[in-house]
Amino acid sequence: MSGGTIHLHQHDLPADIDFGGSVAIDTETMGLDPRRDRLCLVQLSAGDGTAHLVQIIPPALGGKGTDCPNLKALLVNPSVTKIFHFARFDVAALYNALGVVTAPIICTKIASKLVRTYTDRHGLKDLARDMAGVDLSKQQQTSDWGSLELTPEQLAYAASDVLYLHTIWQKLEALLVRENRLDIAQAAYQFLPTLAKLDLLGYGDPDLFHH
């Protein structure tokens, strides 16, 4: 696992952090159902080798819950593009937990599916290897993110999910341009908040467009 500088924050981002025009974001939750499983950690990176991790701690565990105004302001800031891998889940989890609709969004999984049509491997581990030359460990993926004391292994894993998204995105964007699919990618990104809301309403599987 390649490292980066990791800053762990409890409750919220510091007020003075500037991620520039685009920020890579990932979330860790108690499970795969954004309606059921609480948001535990939000990871962010400006693509500069540094990851900021925000631990969301419920009041019952001594935390401030979803009182995180700096994080919420960033999520809705129209001049900062948010880069996700499988944004559908993270946007639903963030909306369900924090009540804010993240925008504008880019999703590397959607981009990969639109241009890497020669493969069915669109996982972050696949993209990191093929587009950033990085071997990501997924060993901590299923660990207990609700723990108040996250392990160094968990923090490194969580950070690695955002540290390479800018590099991956730059490669995918070039392919979208080359294959003339940037417009349809952008239209798909713009629909993601609605898709996330539909998922939270229970229209996830089968989805609203299914026969």
- Minimum CB separation of residue 108 from Mn ion in Å reads 13
Q: Does 90 bind Mn ion (CB under 5 A)?
A: no
- Minimum CB separation of residue 143 from Mn ion in Å reads 11
The region of 98-106, 112-120, 156-164, 183-191 touching Mn ion under the rule CB under 5 A is 156-164
- Minimum CB separation of residue 154 from Mn ion in Å reads 10
For the four alpha carbons of 63, 67, 69 and 71, in that order, the dihedral sign comes to positive
Residue nearer to Mn ion on the CB measure, 80 or 165: 165
Give the H/E segment covering residue 163: helix 152-163
- Minimum CB separation of residue 210 from Mn ion in Å reads 27
Given 161, 168, 169, 196, the residue binding Mn ion (CB under 5 A): 161
Q: Restricting to residues 12-41, which ones interact with Mn ion according to CB under 5 A?
A: 26
Measured from each CB, the residue nearest to Mn ion is: 161
Q: What is 62-129 written as a DSSP string?
A: TS-TT--HHHHHHHH-TTSEEEESSHHHHHHHHHHHH-----SEEEHHHHHHHH-TT-S--SHHHHHH
Tokens coding 104: 């504008």
Tokens coding 133: 């030359």
